[in-house]
Amino acid sequence: MHGGDRRRPEGSPDPHSAHGESWRAARLGTPPSHGWEPEPPPPTLSLPVTPPSRQGRDFSFDDCGRAFTCLPAEEPGAPAEALVCNLDSLLGTMTYRLCVGSPPGVWVCSTDMLLTVPSAPVIDWDGFQGVRVIAVPGSQAYARNHGVYLADEQGLVRDIIYKGTEAQIQQCAGPDGTVPLVCGVVFFSSDAAEQLLATHVIPPLDACTYLGLDSGAPPIQLSLFFDIVLCMAGAMTEEDFVKGGGDASVRSARSMLWTALRAFPLSMACISGASYDYMTTSASDHIRSLTLLPGSASHLHFCKTAHSHVDVCPCIPSLAHACFLGVALGCVARSQSHVPLCPWQQPCLLEDGSSVTNCLLEGAVQLAASSVIQHCHLQGPVEIGPGCLLSGIARGSSLALQGCPLRDVILQGHHVQLRDLPCRVFTLTGCLDDWQSPAEEATYLNVPWAEFFRRTGIREGDLWDAEMPQRSRCLLNARLFPVLHACEALGLEDVLWLLAPAAVASERLARWRTAWRMSWQELMPCLDKAAELGARRALFFLQGQRKVQRVLLGRQDSSLLPLTRSAIHEGYHEAMLGTLDEVASTTGDAGIAARALACIADVLGCMARGEGGLRSGPAANREWALAFGHLESGDIAGGVRELAAERQKWMSRPALLVRAARHYEGAEQILIRQAVMSSCQFVTVGQAELPPLGHWVQVACPARLDLSGGWSDTPPITYEHGGAVVDVAVLVDGCRPIGARVRRIREPELRLVSFSGTPQSEAAVELVCRELEHLQDYFQPHAPGALLKAAFICTQVVQFPSQKPLWAQLMESFGGGFEVHTWSKLPHGSGLAGTSSILAGAVMASLYRAAGKSASTESLIHAVLHLEQRLTTGGGWQDQVGGLVPGIKIGRSKAQLPLRVEVEKIPVPNGFIQTLNDHLVLVYTGKTRLARNLLQDVVRNWYARLPSAVQNADALVTCHSSASVWTGTGSRRNAWPLGASRWLSGA
For residue 298, name the pLDDT band (cuts at 50, 70, 90): low
Q: What is the DSSP letter of 927?
A: -
For residue 957, name the pLDDT band (cuts at 50, 70, 90): confident
Cα dihedral 232, 237, 242, 243 sign: negative
Average pLDDT over residues 921-940: 78
Q: What is the pLDDT of residue 77?
A: 84
**Phi-psi group of 95: left, alpha or beta (phi > 0 → left; psi -120 to 50 → alpha; rest → beta):** alpha
Q: What is the pLDDT of residue 893?
A: 95
Residue 295 has pLDDT above 70, yes or no: no
Where is pLDDT greater, at 629 or 341? 629
Q: For residue 70, give the 3-state DSSP assignment.
A: strand
Q: What is the pLDDT of residue 506?
A: 77
Helix (H) or strand (E) holding 297: none
Q: What is the pLDDT of residue 750?
A: 97
Where is pLDDT greater, at 677 or 348? 677
For residue 491, name the pLDDT band (cuts at 50, 70, 90): very high
User: Poorest-confidence range of 68-77, 520-529, 597-606, 857-866?
Assistant: 68-77
Q: What is the pLDDT of residue 760?
A: 65
Average pLDDT over residues 498-515: 86
CA–CA separation, 374 and 75 (whole Å): 18
For residue 829, name the pLDDT band (cuts at 50, 70, 90): low
Residue 779 has pLDDT above 90, yes or no: no
For residue 195, which phi and psi values (nearest 5 degrees)? Answer: -65, -40
Q: How large a percentage of the chain has pLDDT more than 70?
A: 85
Average pLDDT over residues 874-889: 91
* pLDDT tens digits for range 300-323: 788 899 999 998 654 433 433 343
Contact partners, residue 324, CB within 8 Å, separation at least 6:
none
Where is pLDDT greater, at 226 or 12? 226
Q: What is the pTM of this model?
A: 0.84
For residue 22, name the pLDDT band (cuts at 50, 70, 90): very low
For residue 833, name the pLDDT band (cuts at 50, 70, 90): low
CA–CA separation, 431 and 282 (whole Å): 8
Where is pLDDT greater, at 530 or 983? 530
Where is pLDDT greater, at 673 or 928? 673
For residue 283, which phi and psi values (nearest 5 degrees)? Answer: -65, -40
Greatest mean pLDDT range, 242-251, 413-422, 819-828, 933-942: 413-422
Q: What is the pLDDT of residue 51?
A: 30
* pLDDT tens digits for range 561-614: 999 999 999 999 999 999 999 999 999 899 999 999 999 999 999 999 999 999
* pLDDT tens digits for range 412-422: 999 999 988 99
For residue 982, name the pLDDT band (cuts at 50, 70, 90): very low
What rounded mean pLDDT belongs to the chain? 85
* pLDDT tens digits for range 540-554: 999 999 999 999 999
* pLDDT tens digits for range 636-669: 999 999 999 999 999 999 999 999 999 999 999 9
Judge whether 364 and 314 are in contact, CB under 8 Å: yes
Q: What is the pLDDT of residue 601?
A: 97
HSE-CB at 938 with a 13 A cutoff on CA atoms is: 22
Residue 773 has pLDDT above 70, yes or no: yes
Residue 267 has pLDDT above 50, yes or no: yes
Average pLDDT over residues 695-715: 92
Strands 301-302 and 738-745: unpaired
CA–CA separation, 816 and 808 (whole Å): 9
Residue 271 has pLDDT above 60, yes or no: yes
For residue 831, name the pLDDT band (cuts at 50, 70, 90): low
Judge whether 456 and 440 are in contact, CB under 8 Å: no
* pLDDT tens digits for range 76-94: 889 999 999 999 999 999 9
Average pLDDT over residues 756-785: 87
Give buried/exposed letters for 427-464 (b at 16+ CB in 10 A, else e).
bbbbbbbbbbeebeebbbbbeebeebbebbebeeebbb
* pLDDT tens digits for range 434-460: 999 999 999 999 999 999 999 999 999
Residue 866 has pLDDT above 80, yes or no: yes
CA–CA separation, 148 and 130 (whole Å): 20
Pick the closest to residue 267 from 123, 474, 109 (CA basis): 123
Number of H helices, E strands in the chain: 32, 37
Pick the closest to residue 496 from 395, 573, 591, 390 (CA basis): 390
Pick the closest to residue 912 from 938, 876, 887 (CA basis): 887
Q: How large a percentage of the chain has pLDDT more than 90?
A: 68
Where is pLDDT greater, at 373 or 398? 373
Give helix 654-676 / helix 636-647 axis angle, nearest 10°.
Answer: 170
Average pLDDT over residues 943-954: 91
CA–CA separation, 120 and 271 (whole Å): 10
Q: For residue 488, give the 3-state DSSP assignment.
A: coil
- In whole angstroms, how large is the CA radius of gyration of the chain? 37
For residue 933, name the pLDDT band (cuts at 50, 70, 90): low
